[in-house]
Structure 1
Amino acid sequence: MTGWTIEDMPPLRDQTVVVTGANSGLGLEGSKAFARRGATVVMACRSVERGESAAKEIRDAVPNATLDVRECDLADLSNVASFADGLRADYDAVDILCNNAGVMAIPRSETADGFETQFGVNHLGHFALTGHLLDLLGAADSESRIVTQSSGAHEMGEIDFDDLQRERSYGKWSAYGQSKLANLLFAYELQRRLGNHGWDDVLSVACHPGYADTDLQFRGPREMGSTLRTAAMGVANAVFAQSAEQGALPMLYAATAEDVIGGEYVGPGGLFDMRGSPEFQQSNDASQDEETAEQLWAVSTDLTGVEYDFERT
């Protein structure tokens, strides 16, 4: 995969791709790339207004883009369920689901369902969404893929089952690390369960973008009201980060490349895995712990009320 770029993506005509957080950053660049290859892109966005603005930007670059902007607020499980219901009503199948949206290092807050926001949005929202869309993914004519966006920050994460919502002790970065570790535990456990139930035509793959220049880094400083930290983040992004277009490559590779198998982890292969062309990588030992993954799955099922139905109809 040395030097792999967007130009190496296969044609995606007649395929339906769902991208969460499609209105900015990696989601926007990924949606644009999928549209260039002919896919119908469902842009799942918390704000339809911002989603429509992003869709206009994509159509300016890809005049024949087929885009469908829909509201999907991962911080509200009832909204996630409504989004999935609407998708099932209008589509017969989903070929690629990119669990991309996320929040990073923000002051403690809670979702509509009372979950700590980083864990609730980054993990639980996507856990619920994937479960709701499993039947559509299984209905694809050819192999379908579920791509879950993690981060190198998973290495500083720890799943604290005694305080998952960080009510007793909250650190914005430790909470983010927990959510990104949860993304990997989920992606790998989902692949195991798909394989165990004979869903060989549906793959679960994980990825991370390295350090990409997106709006993700600015939300925390803004919510803290820190002009200084916002400015410092802007300088850091300008000096050290790769572009959002480059940061989207691992997700795009995981979603479309022919040599990808279930359970892979794709990230940029340059300096400190922060930038560069996508490559297969190894996440840390904690992310590979099957006992923790099974416990997290059970807890996630209880918290979201979403049961995965692996029976094929």
Structure 2
Amino acid sequence: MTGWTADRIPDQRGRVAVVTGANSGLGLATATELARRGAHVVLAVRNTAAGAEAARRIAGNVEVRELDLASLESVREFATKLEVDHPVVDLLINNAGVELLGPRRTTADGFELHLGTNALGHFALTGLLLDNLSAARGARVVNLSSITHKNAHLDFDDLQFVRDYRGTTAYGRSKLASTVFGVELDRRLRAAGSSIVSALAHPGLTRTNLTPRAWEHRGRVGKVLATAGLLVTQRVEQGVLPQLRAATDPEVRGGDFFGPAGWGETRGRVTEAKLSSDAADPEVGKKLWAAAEELTGVRSI
């Protein structure tokens, strides 16, 4: 398999990178590669014990900080403390996510859990860290999308998915919201004349810790489905490359979107990915941004 690899990541010495969900899966792989290239990496994790274990596995300059994206209070506390120790942030990789196919659940603020964690938590975090990012030279924000965004549609009359809840659909909508956010952030940064780059990536079908968890509620059937998933997914070391390229390739421009080149963008070498029509629609971007500002109380750009 040829194409862009982690060996092409430039020297990251002197740069500060914040990676959410960095204690396992794609987040851990991202943090590991950035630290290997010399970056100071902040492992922003909900479970600090798991974060400490991850830090021990990474050879490089890392620190662990608590961040629960399902709590706006936690997001604000994280941003406030980070401002003191790291007033300049070069990379923000919005990697963390949840995928639960059981009953509807909510965040500490009453948001539907997928939307609240995967999209609104990252929206608030990014807004609160824009000053840190603006203080850097050539800062980047990378939002993690998913191929599931392509079949999703946002219902602005029921954004919290109160009616007719389905876990798979809720997850897809949350990843569409994350994607729309990344694209709309690019539009707003350009309009403001900011040097910050907003890029996007998705891992195709990659084996992470989310894969078996997503089917836990299905019992024995879930275990069979999770096992079957191993046959069609790629390893984390390959799935992480799109977001690493979005974060580090010097040629990346605002709005660039990377994913696997294989059939249906499910696996394979890194290439430019395709946005769904909803994700690329400026009107959808404006509506989601307004809704996110109202829900989170974070107004930044």
SS in 2 for 1:226: helix
Counterpart in 1 of 2:189? 194
- Correspondence for 1:233 among 226, 239, 244: 226
- Correspondence for 1:167 among 154, 162, 165: 162
CA contact (8 A) 2:101 2:166 kept: no
Structure 2 gap segments, 5+ residues each: none
Cα offset, 1:225, TM superposition: 5.5
**1:164-207 deviation line (CA, Å, top 9, x unaligned):** 111111011111111111111111111111111110x1000111
> Matched residues in 1 for 2:191 and 2:174: separation?
25
Identity %: 45
> Matched residues in 2 for 1:85 and 1:92: separation?
10
CA contact (8 A) 1:30 1:245 kept: no
Q: How does 1:93-242 map to 2 (within 5 A)?
A: 93-107=88-102, 108-140=104-136, 142-199=137-194, 201-222=195-216, 224=217, 226-237=219-230, 239-242=231-234
- Correspondence for 1:249 among 227, 241, 245: 241
**AA of the residue aligned to 1:178:** R
CA contact (8 A) 1:221 1:227 kept: no
1:281 aligns to 2:277 (yes or no): no
Counterpart in 1 of 2:33? 33
Cα offset, 1:280, TM superposition: 1.2
> Matched residues in 2 for 1:21 and 1:132: separation?
18
**1:41-95 deviation line (CA, Å, top 9, x unaligned):** 000001000111111122xxx2xx0001010000001001101111001012110
CA contact (8 A) 2:215 2:225 kept: no
> Matched residues in 1 for 2:128 and 2:223: separation?
37
SS in 1 for 2:252: coil
**AA of the residue aligned to 2:269:** S
> Matched residues in 1 for 2:267 and 2:274: separation?
16
Structure 1 gap segments, 5+ residues each: none
CA contact (8 A) 1:128 1:306 kept: yes
Cα offset, 1:272, TM superposition: 2.1
SS in 2 for 1:69: strand
> Matched residues in 2 for 1:32 and 1:231: separation?
31
TM-score, normalization by structure 1: 0.93
> Matched residues in 2 for 1:270 and 1:112: separation?
39
**1:250-299 deviation line (CA, Å, top 9, x unaligned):** 00000000111001111011232111121112211111111111011001
CA contact (8 A) 2:150 2:276 kept: yes
Which runs of at least 4 in structure 1 moved beyond 4 Å after TM superposition?
Answer: none
